[in-house]
Amino acid sequence: MKLKIYLPFTAIAAIVLSLTACKKYGIEVPDGFDDASGNQTNVTVDTNMKNIDRSGYAKARIFPGLVDQSEPRVQNQEFTLDLNFANQTTDNLRISVAPKPRFSTGYYAAPGELIKIIVPAGANGLNMQIGGHTDNLSGKSPLLRDPIIYNIQPLYPGVNYMRNIYGGTIYINATIAIAQPVKFIISGAVVSPDFVLGVDNDVSWLAKVKASKVPWLELRCKRVVFLVPLDKIQAKVNAGQLNNPTALMTEWNNKFELDFNGWMGLSDNAAEIIDRSPQGAWRGVLDIQLSAGYGHNGFPFVGLNDAEWFNGMTSLSRLFTNDGMWGTYHEFGHNCQQTRVWSWSTLGETTNNLFNFKTANRVGADYTILHPGVTKGFPLAVAWASNSTIPKNFDGDKEIDDPFKRMTPFIQIFEKYGYEAMTKLYTEARRVQRLAINDIDKHDFVYEHLSAYTQSDLAAFFDAWGITISKQTNAKVAAKYPLLTKQIWTYNPLDKTGGTADIVPTIYSVSSNQSNEGSPANMLDGNTATYWHSQYSPAPSAEQSYPHTIVYGQNQRLPIKGLYFVPRNSTAQRVKDAEILVSDDNVNFTSVGTFRIPNAFARYDFNFPGGVVAPRFIKIVFKNSWVSGNTKLAAVAEIGVIKP
């Protein structure tokens, strides 16, 4: 019946549909708190439980589906929810998306049918949501379903009524924690054949699923909830492929306990609130059309309703091999990115995928089956980082412009020093007083805290990968930790090889070199009988004549006070006057002095007039020869740095 009433606003049990695409009943109000104004409001409340609004049947039949009339509608059914939760948000967790206090009821509303719910006295700040498919498809064309098919209505102590012309899973959302469990009474809904870890047993749930005619159900554990279609679940159950939901959801719970929340350093009983696990469970849902892409993050994250995404949520074997799990972990990983502190602009599709490797590492899965991009990208990235003769820009070079290649340095640190390195980043990020304002700030954050975790100054590692760090942060870190000694950037995480060679200087470039003898590397071999020789055959061009330029790379930010030289044991090609310039990027050089190398087969030390410096690159310009008339040929036996 239609009931005309005149009540204080505080007593209204209104039907509120806050989304414009859904049919509205009653009035709209912002939340589930009583209004203390005392104003009188004229409202109409629909309370006829027998009245069904069939206006959305045609669209609901397509998606999310109708509920068979034979499915029993509950009458005055009690259910209790624990609405006490930790108030964890994206601000204090410093992540992109945090779980919200959304609580599953285990009930489903049939399309257009009125749901009656009684809320006990004192239970304020609540609202009811019908529909778990919250992706807004406005602007999409063509549409496979209506753009918005869920609605939310505030709940007040007393009797409340609500309907959704599309139907959907019923949730209770809380804005504040309520210390004591809250008992609700619901009528008009149908029971959803959800599986709840720790409540349902496998045998009874399988029977419940086979008998149900409710189009969607939830697979629930403490940490994660998946909303999946009944028909796909029934097909999998009938094929004998989902006989052990307890094991399935136990492992999903472990994934979030250990590989998501745990890896970020979050736990339920942490001493500090910022280290507490997120409020509520993480959620994932399947849909027939998405607002963006094949899947996207959010609360809930959304995947296309196909076999790939469905099996990613429901396959126990995949959870232990990580085969076919990339997408699910990928979207949850997006939710967990700390882009305001350390995940810089070129890592948008990189740091979210690090969780794939954590889950694989814990269960002993083979990295090579995680994604084809891993097996292709990792070796190429290692080769690029290992090439010490080229300048590098991690954020700008096209050779490394690939998310799989950019994962490599992080996995190298995890593999060589332990996966808790990520926990260090997340834990410290929650404690910073100021958020990062640019990518260099974020580079510095990662450099500083990974150096603290490894107890080594990782500047050489960051330099090898072309990740720019500031001089200020480098000085701060260098004062605390010893220099890295091994070339860990050459480690291949796929075959567990490399990364053990010592860090040694490199000749980055020479302006002229004889191809058949006199390698530049001879100047670094400690043997004065070998030497570098500029080109003499075929006859050198003007560009291969004096001045000759050599770029020496320390491959460390090592303090030095000068350079030493040993000329070749031959008077014919001995260099005479020279200049030294230093640089941190192999692009911009600053002169530190000019000098003359004696015409003798002996070591000559040149101490920098300005004192000790710590350059990454040293450019040596040989300007002329001791031999009159020699404008082209040069040779040097040894070059090295002089330590303070």
With a cut of 60, say whether residue 41 has pLDDT above it.
Answer: no
Amino acid 36: pLDDT: 57
**Nearest CA-CA partner of 419 in 455, 385, 376, 450:** 450
Q: Which two tokens stand for residue 206?
A: 């399988």
- Separation of alpha carbons 322 and 497, rounded Å: 22
Average pLDDT of the chain is 92
**Nearest CA-CA partner of 175 in 119, 212, 127:** 127
Amino acid 46: pLDDT: 76
Per the CB < 8 A criterion, the answer to whether 168 and 109 are in contact is yes
Helix (H) or strand (E) holding 510: strand 506-510
Amino acid 40: pLDDT: 55
**Fold match between 56-314 and 344-490?**
no
Each residue of 395-451: pLDDT tens digit?
999 999 999 999 999 999 999 999 999 999 999 999 999 999 999 999 999 999 999
User: Which amino acid, one-letter code, is at 343?
Assistant: S
Amino acid 391: pLDDT: 83
Domain ranges (residues) in the chain: 56-314, 344-490, 506-642
Q: What DSSP string describes 216-268? A: EEEEE-SSEEEEEEHHHHHHHHHTTS-S-HHHHHHHHHHIIIIIITTTTT-BT
With a cut of 50, say whether residue 24 has pLDDT above it.
Answer: no
- Separation of alpha carbons 410 and 447, rounded Å: 11
Amino acid 236: pLDDT: 97
Per the CB < 8 A criterion, the answer to whether 118 and 160 are in contact is yes
**Nearest CA-CA partner of 568 in 622, 508, 528:** 528
**Residue 516 or residue 230, greater confidence:** 230
Q: How many helices (H) and strands (E) does the chain have?
A: 15, 26
Per the CB < 8 A criterion, the answer to whether 544 and 534 are in contact is yes
Amino acid 308: pLDDT: 96
How many other CB atoms are found less than 10 A from the CB of residue 410? 21
Q: Helix 403-417 to helix 372-386 angle, to the nearest 10 degrees?
A: 80
**Residue 2 or residue 616, greater confidence:** 616
The sign of the CA dihedral 42, 43, 47, 50 is: positive
Each residue of 289-319: pLDDT tens digit?
999 999 999 999 999 999 999 999 999 999 9
Amino acid 639: pLDDT: 97
How many other CB atoms are found less than 10 A from the CB of residue 455? 10
With a cut of 70, say whether residue 15 has pLDDT above it.
Answer: no
- In the sheet that holds 151-155, the strands lie side by side as 151-155, 126-130, 168-174, 102-109, 190-191
- Separation of alpha carbons 8 and 30, rounded Å: 16
Each residue of 244-298: pLDDT tens digit?
999 999 999 999 999 999 999 999 999 999 999 988 899 999 999 999 999 999 9
User: Which amino acid, one-letter code, is at 229?
Assistant: P
With a cut of 50, say whether residue 565 has pLDDT above it.
Answer: yes
With a cut of 90, say whether residue 16 has pLDDT above it.
Answer: no
How many other CB atoms are found less than 10 A from the CB of residue 333? 23
Amino acid 388: pLDDT: 85
Each residue of 324-379: pLDDT tens digit?
999 999 999 999 999 999 999 999 999 999 999 999 999 999 999 999 999 999 99
Each residue of 192-211: pLDDT tens digit?
999 999 999 999 999 999 99
Greatest alpha-carbon span in the chain: 114
pLDDT band at 543 (very low <50, low <70, confident <90, very high): confident
With a cut of 50, say whether residue 620 has pLDDT above it.
Answer: yes
Per the CB < 8 A criterion, the answer to whether 87 and 174 are in contact is no
Q: Which residues pair with 245 in a beta bridge?
A: none
Q: Which two tokens stand for residue 591?
A: 């002169």
User: Which amino acid, one-letter code, is at 25?
Assistant: Y
Average pLDDT over residues 624-640: 95
3-state secondary structure 386-444: HCCCCCCCCCCCHHHCCHHHHHHHHHHHHHHHCCHHHHHHHHHHCCCCCCCCCHHHHHH
Average pLDDT over residues 9-27: 34
Each residue of 582-616: pLDDT tens digit?
998 888 999 999 999 999 999 999 999 999 998 98
With a cut of 70, say whether residue 7 has pLDDT above it.
Answer: no
Percent of the chain with pLDDT over 70: 93
- Separation of alpha carbons 232 and 312, rounded Å: 13
Size (the chain), residues: 644
CATH number for 344-490 (one of 3.30.460.10, 3.50.50.60, 3.40.50.300, 1.10.390.30): it is 1.10.390.30
Amino acid 14: pLDDT: 34
pLDDT band at 234 (very low <50, low <70, confident <90, very high): very high
Per the CB < 8 A criterion, the answer to whether 551 and 586 are in contact is yes
How many other CB atoms are found less than 10 A from the CB of residue 311? 17
Q: Which residues pair with 224 in a beta bridge?
A: 282
CATH number for 56-314 (one of 1.10.3720.10, 1.10.10.10, 3.30.390.50, 2.60.120.1250): it is 2.60.120.1250
CATH class of the 506-642 domain in this structure: mainly beta
Terminal-to-terminal C-alpha distance of the chain = 93
